[in-house]
Amino acid sequence: MSLSLIFDMDGTLFQTDKILELSLEATFDRLRSLNQWDTETPIGKYREIMGVPLSKVWETLLPSHSIEVREQVNDFFHERLIENILKGQGALYPNVEAVFSYLKVRNYTIYIASNGLTEYLKAIVKYYHLDQWVTESFSIQQIQSLDKAELVKMIIEKYTIEKAAVIGDRLSDIRAAKENGLVAIGCNFDFAQEDELSQADIVVDDLLELKTILPKLKQENNALV
């Protein structure tokens, strides 16, 4: 039986860290220019909650601001993120292309499930030509509840997936796997947290480790058929 792979984007495939500070600093500079913020940019706080939908981000970073202001800030931040992607300020994690090429040749089907917004996700996929390996990319915007487990369920149902692994760096990825009866592979990368990774079935420090892990998972799945 084939094994499908559902990858997270930020902090798993894409080094969001490289554009995060630039984009967040520009966003809070704008707030300061409008007299809507008067302290330092809360980059540390953002890192702590990295991996949640952007609507949740602004609830956390701007708890005293109106929903209207948060929406405006979200739009501005989103524009800066895309701008920095298209300027080449970001980067994929080491070995993403090599691993994807390896997986494609061996008939693994690859999907992306991201908490990022649709246009942001499209910008990364297009800039790095990920669609040569990825069957389809899904944004959390496609799910009204903003629940990543539901997003993964959407992929499972659309493609009639029976066996799969979710590969990501945060608890939302691990829960998305567990709630759908899938294997959870945690990535111990920039934004990962030890207590969250402890809930994964497998933890990797480099995506290259998938070349060893996935054939074993496929064999185990075939043995259960």
- What's the mean pLDDT in 195-211? 96
The domain limits of the chain are: 4-15+91-224, 17-86
What is the pLDDT confidence band of residue 224, given thresholds at 50, 70 and 90? very low
- What's the mean pLDDT in 179-206? 96
Helices marked H in 17-142: 17-33, 43-49, 54-61, 67-86, 96-105, 118-127
Q: In what order do the strands lie in the sheet with 134-139?
A: 134-139, 109-114, 4-7, 164-168, 183-187, 202-204
Residue 51 pLDDT exceeds 80 = no
| Least confident among 71-80, 167-176, 210-219 | 210-219
DSSP 116-144: S-HHHHHHHHHHTTGGGTEEEEEEGGG-T
What amino acid occupies position 99? Answer: V
- Domain 4-15+91-224 part of CATH 3.90.76.10: no
pLDDT of residue 195: 95
| Least confident among 171-180, 202-211, 212-221 | 212-221
